[in-house]
């Protein structure tokens, strides 16, 4: 790590995020605190690697994440994955499917129940 920029990344951490394709827990988990300066804002980026399906990442801002993205590396760029012949650029979480009224409630943003991936019928499809 570059010492001029004290790392906000923690590597000895756990994440509620699991591989959105096979559901296994992720290795090499990294959590970057973005809201760390202003203690009242919970803002983190979580990344982790599935040994089979590669890196995944999500952003947590006060609430559980709405989507989990496949990425080429932690804090890298989004890559596409193909699941059952469909191209997918993001996986929606259970949180994203909840009614708006429920999403306004205060919840633990790291509550693993909300991080479960649900099938997204609106996924991008491609024939290339």
**Considering only 11-19, 32-40, 96-104, 120-128, which stretch makes contact with Zn ion by CB under 5 A?**
11-19
Cα separation, 16 vs 114, whole angstroms: 9
Cβ atoms of 16 and 115 within 8 Å: the answer is yes
Is residue 19 a contact residue for Zn ion (CB under 5 A)?
yes
Q: What angle do CA 102, 109, 105 make, to 5 degrees?
A: 25
Residue 57 three-state SS: strand
Is residue 82 a contact residue for Zn ion (CB under 5 A)?
no
To Zn ion, the closest distance from the beta carbon of 93 in angstroms equals: 16
- Write the binding mask 45 to 74 for Zn ion: x where contact by CB under 5 A, - elsewhere: -----x-xx---------------------
Cα separation, 23 vs 116, whole angstroms: 9
Structure tokens at 126: 């491609």
- Write the binding mask 20 to 49 for Zn ion: x where contact by CB under 5 A, - elsewhere: -xx---------------------------
User: Which chain residues interact with Zn ion by CB under 5 A?
Assistant: 19, 21-22, 50, 52-53
């Amino acid at each position: 790590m570059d010492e001029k920029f004290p790392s906000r990344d923690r590597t000895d951490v756990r994440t509620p995020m699991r591989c959105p394709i096979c559901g296994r827990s992720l290795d090499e988990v990294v959590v970057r605190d973005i809201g760390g300066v202003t203690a009242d804002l919970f803002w983190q980026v979580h990344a982790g690697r599935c040994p089979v399906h590669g890196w995944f990442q999500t952003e947590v801002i006060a609430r559980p994440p709405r989507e989990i993205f496949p990425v080429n590396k932690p804090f890298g760029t989004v890559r596409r994955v193909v699941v059952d012949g469909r191209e997918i650029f993001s996986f929606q979480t259970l949180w994203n499917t909840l009614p708006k009224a429920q999403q306004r409630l205060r919840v633990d943003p790291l509550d693993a129940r909300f991080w479960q991936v649900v099938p997204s019928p609106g996924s991008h499809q491609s024939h290339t």
